[in-house]
Structure 1
Amino acid sequence: MRSFVSISELKAWVLSSEPDDMNRSLRALLEKNADIMELLQVLEETNLCGQEYFVVNDAIIVTYRMRLNLLTFMKRSLRADARIIGLPISMSRSGIFASDEASGRKAALEVIKREKGLTVALNTDYRLRGNSLTLSNFVFINRFRDFDEYLMAMRSSYRRNVLGVIEEGNGLVFRRIESSDFSTLHHMLYRSVVERSEYPLETLPIEFFRSYDSEIVEVRRTDGSLIAVLVLRGYGDTLTFMFCGFRREEGASLYHNLLIYVIRKGIEDGYKRIDMGQTSEAAKLRLGCTEEIKHLLVYHGNPVVNSVIRRASGRFSYRRYKVLHRVFRT
């Protein structure tokens, strides 16, 4: 096992090592996930939080440190300093990069056992140990040529709801801006959503939005007043809805218009998948998204403490949304 404090150090070591089977696998991982590695480099510069990257055989494990509320899903507070296996940004991607599930699980567990204190693996695509869940992710699988075809494929009640939301949003002006033009007003709107989130993690500084090569869309009324901001990024065949910002008093109609804008854009730009992120399960499922289960592991290096955590593991687990929505006619 090797550890690195920056992605550039990790890349340099991989590229300078002898090209055996393990090294070739690591190079393939870096190439396949080049966009995420770029994101991690920007986060090192703008959101420094004890990032450390582990190479275990032919897998890469991304970690960072933060103070975490272990009882988030119970709406209670029990905060503890933890090493997180995951991306240091509120995205649903796992911090485990491996060629297959077996090697990813083995590498993650080696890193977890190495830590003496509390370690939390977030958003893993498969179970490491136990059955605890974190927030599900919601993905729109695009099989439509255009937005009208999407609407016509919906059952009538869901289509009426979407058209009603669009009607309520008449007059909203969506306009793309440069990352360098991300202002304190845009950042205030983003922070407004973070601060009222039921499941808060980190709050990114304004420098991240100004530095990262993303698609930023501001939303204004016809009178020119700024009411919302969207941050999107394409990763290969997937459009990712990274962040949004708006004030609570703007209401659910505005948020639903933001979701519909993202789906419309993803369809029109030809993406195969639109990653709509976690939270707001009902709103996203009613638009035709599918649920991706995400797993959670809480582990402590002290055997006594870890035994207590195992017995209480259900308290850390997310309760899934249980309503079935049959959005499409076929």
Structure 2
Amino acid sequence: MEKVIKKWSSPGFLNGHWDELADSYFQKREFLELLHKYNPCAQRYYELYCDGTLVAGTIVYTLKIDLFTFSRIPSPFKVQVIGLPVSVASPPIIGVPEEFGYLLSEILKIEKGVILGINFKEDYLQDSVLNLRTLPTILLELPGNNMAAYENALRHCYRRRLRLIREKFSGVTSVTSGCSEFSEEHYSLYLQIMKKTTTKLEILNRDVFRNLPSNFRITTYYSDQVMLAWYVVCQDNDTLFFFFGGMNYELRDRFQSYNNNLLGIIEDAFGSQSRIIDFGQTAEIAKTRFGGVLSERRMFFYHRNRIIFGLLKLSRKLIEYSRVSENPRVFRSVN
């Protein structure tokens, strides 16, 4: 079997069958083209062909990150990232799983410097790379078909907690629209969150949000015309993905804005007849208290220089995400 690697500088050159290999919208050409235009970070796109047929593909980009970000130690390094160039938990590799190891091993021969592969669902390349745990994403499989069924499925203490959270938003108004309505005020609240976040990879510019396609929508909350919070979700078949949000931190605790944002996403999911919510990879305690369950993600580091690779191995405790959270028992047992 003849295997050929092709490398492209733009998603416009990708094989027309690329999307057929994708598992989520974030892996598809339309979204990759949006990021290539509005979030440029030297993206390059790899395709693997077996006997002329496209069987796998992935994306690599260049970014300066804090290598010890999970240890909260400033440690900026320029890294070649095998990943989607935006902070979502969808794996960056598509196609036939049996071919992933070969594609990744070939990329390690081509790319130079420190290489980070992120948000995989399992380990690859075994001892050739440093496989580590990264932030899990949080998935909520919705019980029932409406909000009333969800609330009825909650244990009493969590149902009471939800009512108290909702009361904080008494008198708050919401507006849902397409993302072309994304404003400077929205962006300023996004930046407030990014300044507080210790695990960010990149900061998106405003144009990314304003140009999101019609399967994305933004919901904004106001109190007396003051913007409290907002969230963007993406509809992908029966899954609703939380994309990003913004928060007025001065008013967050008074209005329980973060939890009400999560509650709004759940209500949104029922309204769109979604079966699953992917809440993303941060604030796992808050999200599991609404019934979300941790879904593990893996990453790996590599450098072809043995000394540097050895130093990475010695630093694994500083690099790896080590926090372990238990899934609380949010829902009543069903006999």
Answer yes or no: same fold by TM over 0.5.
yes
Instruction: List alignment gaps of at least 5 residues for structure 1.
Output: 16-23
CA distance in 1, matches of 2:169, 2:150: 19
Q: How does 1:161-240 map to 2 (within 5 A)?
A: 161-213=161-213, 214-221=216-223, 223-240=224-241
Number of equivalent positions: 316
Contact conserved, 1:144 with 1:267, CA < 8 A, in 2?
A: no
Q: CA deviation at 1:308?
A: 1.9
Alignment partner of 1:267 is 2:264: no
Contact conserved, 1:138 with 1:276, CA < 8 A, in 2?
A: yes
Contact conserved, 2:192 with 2:248, CA < 8 A, in 1?
A: yes
Q: How does 1:99-178 map to 2 (within 5 A)?
A: 99-100=96-97, 102-128=98-124, 129=126, 130-178=130-178
Aligned equivalent of 1:306: 309
Contact conserved, 1:136 with 1:320, CA < 8 A, in 2?
A: no
Residue type of the partner of 2:6?
R
Contact conserved, 1:192 with 1:247, CA < 8 A, in 2?
A: yes
Q: CA deviation at 1:268?
A: 2.8
Q: CA deviation at 1:34?
A: 7.9
Alignment partner of 1:5 is 2:6: no
Which structure has greater strand proportion?
2
Structure 1 segments (4+ residues) deviating >4 Å: 30-35
CA distance in 2, matches of 1:71, 1:121: 15
The secondary structure found in structure 1 opposite 2:73 is coil
CA distance in 1, matches of 2:24, 2:66: 33
CA distance in 1, matches of 2:19, 2:278: 26
Query: Which of 299-308 and 316-325 deviates more?
Result: 316-325
Contact conserved, 1:96 with 1:108, CA < 8 A, in 2?
A: no
CA distance in 1, matches of 2:28, 2:241: 12
Distance 1:39 1:183, change over 3 A: same
Aligned equivalent of 2:28: 36
Q: CA deviation at 1:114?
A: 2.4
Distance 1:210 1:32, change over 3 A: closer
TM-score, with structure 2 as normaliser: 0.89
Aligned equivalent of 1:281: 284
Q: CA deviation at 1:104?
A: 2.0
CA distance in 2, matches of 1:321, 1:55: 36
Alignment partner of 1:315 is 2:318: yes
Aligned equivalent of 2:52: none
Aligned equivalent of 1:50: 42
1:179-238 C-alpha deviation (Å, 9 max, x unpaired):
2221111111111111110112111111111111120111111x1222222111111211
Instruction: List alignment gaps of at least 5 residues for structure 2.
Output: 50-54
Please give the root-mean-square deviation of Cα atoms over the aligned residues, in Å: 1.8
CA distance in 1, matches of 2:72, 2:308: 22
The secondary structure found in structure 2 opposite 1:121 is strand
CA distance in 1, matches of 2:280, 2:166: 21
Which structure has greater helix proportion?
1
